[in-house]
Structure 1
Amino acid sequence: MSLYYREMCNKIILSLIIIYGNGIFAQSDSDTVEHLKGLIYNRIANIPNYESPTDAKMFEAPEVPITEYGTYDFIIIGAGVTGSAIANRLSEIRQWRILLIEAGIFTDGDLMSIPSMFMLTVFSDYNWGFRTVPQKNACLSTKNHTCLVPRGKGVGGSSLLNALQYSRANPKNYNQWAKALHDSSWSYKNILKYFKKSENFHWTNPKAPVDLKSHGREGLLHVQHVQPEHPLNDIFIEANKQLGYDIIDFNSERQIGGSIMQLYTNNGTREDMGTVFITPFLDRPNLTVLTQSYVTKIEIDKITKVAKSVLFTNNGITYRARADVEVILSAGAIASPQILMLSGIGPKQHLQDVGIELIENLEVGSCLKEHALLSHLFFTSNFERPVETIEQQLSDFLKGYGSLTTTSTQAQGIAFYNVNHKTSTVPDLVIYVDDTKYSEMEKSVFDFNEETIQSLTKIGSKLKTIRFLLMNFNIKSKGTIRLKNKNPFEYPLIDPMLLSDHSGKDIKTMYRGIQQILRLSETPAFKKINLELVNEPLPACKHIQFKSQKYWYCFLKQLTMTGVHPMATCPMGVNKCKGAVVDSNLKVFGIKKLRVADASIFPASIAGHPSMTCLMIGEKISDVIKQEYL
């Protein structure tokens, strides 16, 4: 069966799912509970046997002969958050032929629909399985000093396996972008409409202040609070008040203070961008979605420097698709720079070193920014929640509420702070609170060495454990994405250089974050539950005075991991000589008919989770393209 007809069959099947519903959820509640329970237990049981991919050689195909696939107006590479939105908006124009190319597949709708099971998707074909190169100042507690970099492989991209945090970043982030770009269209005032355009907000928690003027109510993507509220939230919110912080809607103009998480879920179920922006629109005759198709190169005329076509593999065959108007690269902050460099666009010396002919000398992959995450700071308490069976949890989930409808933490308390400049309105870190114990799953996810596993198991499995999570937004460290060689099926070399800035500001911010957590723990609100830092030094740091600054620096270097928010690898700017790869309309400098649109174009790190910024970019650039060509 040809690639075209296979994809048409997939289109019909997915359309039937839209009309008649996913089969498992059409069963009785008790049958569905048993089905999902079986899937969960089976996935957990198979974790020890799971082998994460180390390359993309499952997509290999001979370079010749090349089969012509056809000609389209726009070819979009990558059906992640941004690519899905662009494909949706451009295919609204009936006369435009849109081709969306994705290496993964559509969501299966089973475990992936349960927000709290997001860690299990790490052990699945929906994750590329990237890891960093060995780090010098972070991830030192892992077996090889490498950090996990989960990236979504499928229609929906990383929204298939992320923590669903609806966080737009700070208004001043975008105002700084606009100023640096000399382009007011990137100011917060002008991009707010794009956030609101895609959002369908439901205010479901009266304890969480909401600035309704900042939210959209008619978009495709549902945003809501988890119900019922976790009892730990009241304590966390009260502790922030006792430290003098306001309780705020962090997706409004104000972002410093405590709040309750906003998640992009619908009735407690995960909403990935493929399910929202692509699957319901597969009946559009001008939209073609190719899955299990791996892009190896954008073909660019060496003389005219026009992007002409895209090479990709599918089922052992190499195809060429031609673009009449534009190629839009939306493969993410890891794969977009990789594809550009494979296509001859990148740092001259590096491309020469790996044997790729240079077409345009740009600093592709030279400015990787990655949020730093600490998720293993444990406290003991007398806080206790009723124990729920998995059957109870799943039954609640099917009704749209309960503990399975949340993600990275069971509690939903979240607070944004600037610990370096107290008067600043831009946070440099975020803190979460949680009562989830250290689990077998985490051992596999983080790949800790045995000594660390034993320590964390002893500490984190205690009864009535509370943990805090800390993420540094204001990253000064700068890493790189580089090709291992010119083989397109080899994974790139990912080096975020976490906590490695020469000024030492990144680790200092993390240290001040720990001090902020300790201040929270000393408030009357937390003292009511007898919250106490676990008096158990990390083995690698036990030779240092416990709780001293030197101890915490050691602790941070051992347990700080990637925040799984890679960005800025193809940054926007006004001057390619200063490291910019694309202009403010996301056009690649020196190349015609080629744009990049995803987290790679961020000019700097942002004070928030990048997925909603990526969605905004998709909405904004779609309007720019329509204005240019209509």
Structure 2
Amino acid sequence: MKQNPKRIGRVDISDLNEDPIVWTVMGRLAGGFIYAGILRMAFVHQATFCVNSLAHWLGDQPFDASKSSRDHFLTALLALGEGYHNFHHEFPSDYRNATKWYQYDPTKWAICIWEYFGLAYDVKQFHPDDVQKRYIQQQHAILVKQAARLDWGVPPSRLPVLEWEDHFASLRALLILSLPLSWVASYGLLQPALDLLKSTVPTLKGKLGTLMGVVGVESTYDYVIVGGGTAGNTIGSRLAEAGLSVAIVEAGSFYEIKSPLKSTIPAGYNLLVGSDPENVNVPVDWGIVTVPQAGANGRRLHYAQGKCFGGSSALNAMIYQRGTTGSYDQWATLVEDESYKWENILPFFKKSVQFTPPDTSKRFQNATTLFNPDAFDKDSTGPVQVSYINYVSPFATWLKAGMEAVGIPVTEDFNSGHLFGTQYNPSTINPMDETRSSSDTFIGSLPITSKLHVYPDTLVKKIVFDENKQATGVDVETAGRGYHIRAAREVIVCAGSFHSPQVLMVSGIGPENTLNSLNIPIVSSLPGVGQNMWDHPFIAPSYRVSLETETRMAYDKLHYLEQGLEYAIEHEGTWANTQELLGWEKLPRSHRLNLSHSTLDDLSRFPSDWPEVEYLPANGFIGNFSDLMGQQPADGYQYATIVGVLIAPTSRGNVTIRSNSTSDRPIVSPNWLTTKTDVEVAVAIYRRMREIWQSEPLQSIAVGNLSYPLHEDQSDEEIIQFIRELLMPLWHPACTCKMGVRSDPMSVVDSHARVYGVDRLRVVDASSFPLLPPGHPQSTVYMLAEKIAHSIISHLGKK
């Protein structure tokens, strides 16, 4: 026992005897024995410890669903609330023992009163969500215990297991048995898809199991992304990387599962984009069919647009190429925002991609290409792979020589802000296995701890606004079941150039006449929604050649399968081929002489570095692109095609809605060749392509000088008729939710992609371009998504 400290003095406390509040018991036997002894030590102390023990015994969880903070009223009454001991131990810094103000807890009430009069401070509480989460967890534990007492039949652990190897063996057998006998040898054709499924599906299954949103449950996220396409996956993943919670709602599924052969193998894209309006049952396509087009001889055309995670980056020709310095500088001028000038957006182009130089050991020696390594960041961790294909078709090498012969020079690359000239181009292809690299790689690159959730096969029905015109979420539908997903910060529409304006219009944003005609309440009157559609139409005369082309594939199935086997084993051959060569120019003087003054005036409005025509090789017969394999001529000849694209079009199309439901396809009218300028330029392009064909290099492989089916000596009127009969889009719709300044009546979004007239709503995809830069828009969509994501995150960081 420690000795008492040395006495160092006495203090006179006699004044306490006169105090009406303080009551001393020194020297008073009854008071000391009864009050200090019996009542305080024997009763109060023991009662306190008894209460503590009782509380632990009655609430040994210590906080659970069955013993809530409202239980044990008598115990709490005796201990001024201490009977709620289970709450006290679970949330120790909370001054309360009962969370609701009306629940019996005298201690809580006393502290609240003291705080009101300034006698208590730094009073702390746990957030109600934390209490509710713990309560739900304990309810779940109770349900598990109850379920364990029930007979559920054979437990899952005792069910038979189907291994992946067995599953794929049965799938392989089913596929082979479903083919005609002549195709039984197609194991080489099927194997790449089966191998891809075998490696990809378990990965998707493992990762996405933690990323899937809960169907039918109203959930809340910081950002809700409408559309898991090229832009949606990019911006959604970047926001999730910043620690924000994100939901990506996609009407389709994963193309690696729905279309493993056509969508992943480079050459397969040709089978996804035909113009036949009756052949639209592609599992990763929306099945859009245009209204009859005067510029295409009244034809209705299937217009391919991706309906899957990856969007059109899962259907396109995988060309990776950027626009010109002048085109982006004009963009900056139109939206009055210098951040869109070439030098300012270049970092965002670089951010999305990883670049791999060409593999010279696999490419033909005469397909050696120049490239600018400074156009890409060496240390980039962008998930999208950009590389050069391993197989270049022989016809492409001859076309390159033909373009050089008529004055189109060889240039270094098409990713440094200039396009004039010809060169082999990189593609969004994974160099490890020569498969497509699309925007869904952004999702796959996120850790499983990410706050991003995906909702596949879920259609957004409309955007919901509050009374202040703030977007608060979206109504969606999965397998016929409707529910709501709430956005705490913003809704970002990334549904593409056809469906982004549709989603806006059914939600009350768009032209008044359209909305009124369908009884849609107007939230923001914006006449530009669905208007101003740019597109790149092309013409494609084919010629007989002495080279082997893909025409052989149409009637030589064994050769087709041999190429499939080469692709599966070596990642080479025609199956590894997509668009490999590009050429760009303004029409030369000799062809401009035939253009009218009004046409020349229209073309002069484009920046000086903006090409008017693009050339691409097609290693076979194109025709009207309705069925590339089925319409290859079986006359014993090989065919090749020069594709000519109008890159500076002046015709503008539009998109509108047929009902107030997104379940109905939008009405699409591209309006190709509806201006005098476009018609004159199309004829000039056709004649220029004939000139290229008649160059010495191409004549050395030509079988005759006539294009098929048109003969050489046709008039302009007959050429126009031919063009209208075979005209096709390059599937580059843009600008239907145009970015611009508020004073422009056709503008829909500002330079930060925020929709005018409402709050907390953006549109980020090709529809929000103010113009369609020359070439292929995939890279620009990635850039825009990266730029807007960066802007959002930077703004949040400043708050």
| TM-score, scaled to structure 1 | 0.82
What SS does the corresponding residue of 2:567 show, helix, strand or coil? helix
What SS does the corresponding residue of 2:242 show, helix, strand or coil? coil
Equivalent in the alignment of 1:509: 681
For the 8 Å contact 1:438–1:461, the answer to whether it is kept is: no
Distance 2:747 2:481 in 1: 35
Distance 2:751 2:329 in 1: 13
In the TM superposition, 1:264-413 aligns within 5 A as 264-267=428-431, 269-281=434-446, 283-301=448-466, 303-362=467-526, 363-375=528-540, 377-384=541-548, 389-398=559-568, 399-407=570-578, 409=579, 412-413=580-581
Q: Work out whether 1:463 is the aligned partner of 2:624.
A: no
For the 8 Å contact 2:549–2:620, the answer to whether it is kept is: no
Deviation digits for residues 19-77 of structure 1 (CA, Å, limit 9, x no counterpart): x99x979x99xx999556259999xxxxxxxxxxxxxxxxxxxxxxx965111101011
For the 8 Å contact 2:542–2:708, the answer to whether it is kept is: no
CA positional deviation for 1:488: 2.6
Matched residue pairs, number? 558
1:195 equivalent among 332, 341, 349: 349
What SS does the corresponding residue of 1:209 show, helix, strand or coil? coil
Equivalent in the alignment of 1:432: 616
- Identify unmatched segments of 5+ residues in structure 1: 1-19, 43-65, 447-452
RMSD: 3.1
Return closer, same or farther for 1:293/1:256 CA change in 2, 3 Å cut-off. same
Q: Work out whether 1:103 is the aligned partner of 2:254.
A: no
Distance 1:559 1:385 in 2: 21
Q: Work out whether 1:611 is the aligned partner of 2:778.
A: yes
Q: Work out whether 1:419 is the aligned partner of 2:577.
A: no
In the TM superposition, 1:12-411 aligns within 5 A as 34-35=186-187, 37-38=189-190, 68-94=217-243, 96-108=244-256, 110-111=260-261, 112-121=263-272, 123-138=281-296, 140=297, 145-204=299-358, 207-217=368-378, 218=380, 219-248=382-411, 249-267=413-431, 269-281=434-446, 283-301=448-466, 303-362=467-526, 363-375=528-540, 377-384=541-548, 389-398=559-568, 399-407=570-578, 409=579
Deviation digits for residues 217-262 of structure 1 (CA, Å, limit 9, x no counterpart): 3332211222233222332222222222221212223211111132
What SS does the corresponding residue of 1:175 show, helix, strand or coil? helix
Distance 1:420 1:321 in 2: 55
CA positional deviation for 1:577: 4.0
Equivalent in the alignment of 1:47: none
Deviation digits for residues 53-110 of structure 1 (CA, Å, limit 9, x no counterpart): xxxxxxxxxxxxx96511110101100000010111111122x111111111112352
Distance 1:537 1:239 in 2: 22
Deviation digits for residues 556-588 of structure 1 (CA, Å, limit 9, x no counterpart): 111112221111000100125431000000000
Return closer, same or farther for 1:381/1:34 CA change in 2, 3 Å cut-off. closer
Distance 2:626 2:796 in 1: 51
Q: Which residue type is aligned with residue 264 of structure 1?
A: T
Q: Which residue type is aligned with residue 466 of structure 1?
A: A
Q: Which residue type is aligned with residue 115 of structure 1?
A: P
CA positional deviation for 1:461: 5.5
Return closer, same or farther for 1:160/1:385 CA change in 2, 3 Å cut-off. closer
398-407 or 599-608, larger mean C-alpha shift: 398-407
For the 8 Å contact 2:241–2:446, the answer to whether it is kept is: no
Identity %: 26
Equivalent in the alignment of 2:701: 529
For the 8 Å contact 2:233–2:440, the answer to whether it is kept is: no
Distance 1:239 1:175 in 2: 32
What SS does the corresponding residue of 1:389 show, helix, strand or coil? helix
Distance 2:614 2:750 in 1: 30
Equivalent in the alignment of 1:624: 791
What SS does the corresponding residue of 1:276 show, helix, strand or coil? helix
CA positional deviation for 1:416: 1.0
Distance 1:536 1:626 in 2: 55
What SS does the corresponding residue of 2:426 show, helix, strand or coil? coil
Distance 2:191 2:658 in 1: 37
For the 8 Å contact 1:114–1:404, the answer to whether it is kept is: yes
Q: Which residue type is aligned with residue 670 of structure 2?
A: P
For the 8 Å contact 1:84–1:273, the answer to whether it is kept is: no
For the 8 Å contact 1:507–1:556, the answer to whether it is kept is: no
Greater Rg over alpha carbons, structure? 2
For the 8 Å contact 1:136–1:497, the answer to whether it is kept is: yes
- Identify unmatched segments of 5+ residues in structure 2: 1-163, 177-183, 195-214, 274-280, 361-366, 553-557, 593-606
509-518 or 84-93, larger mean C-alpha shift: 509-518
Deviation digits for residues 509-534 of structure 1 (CA, Å, limit 9, x no counterpart): 22111122111112111122235443
Return closer, same or farther for 1:472/1:85 CA change in 2, 3 Å cut-off. same
Distance 2:686 2:622 in 1: 19
CA positional deviation for 1:476: 0.7
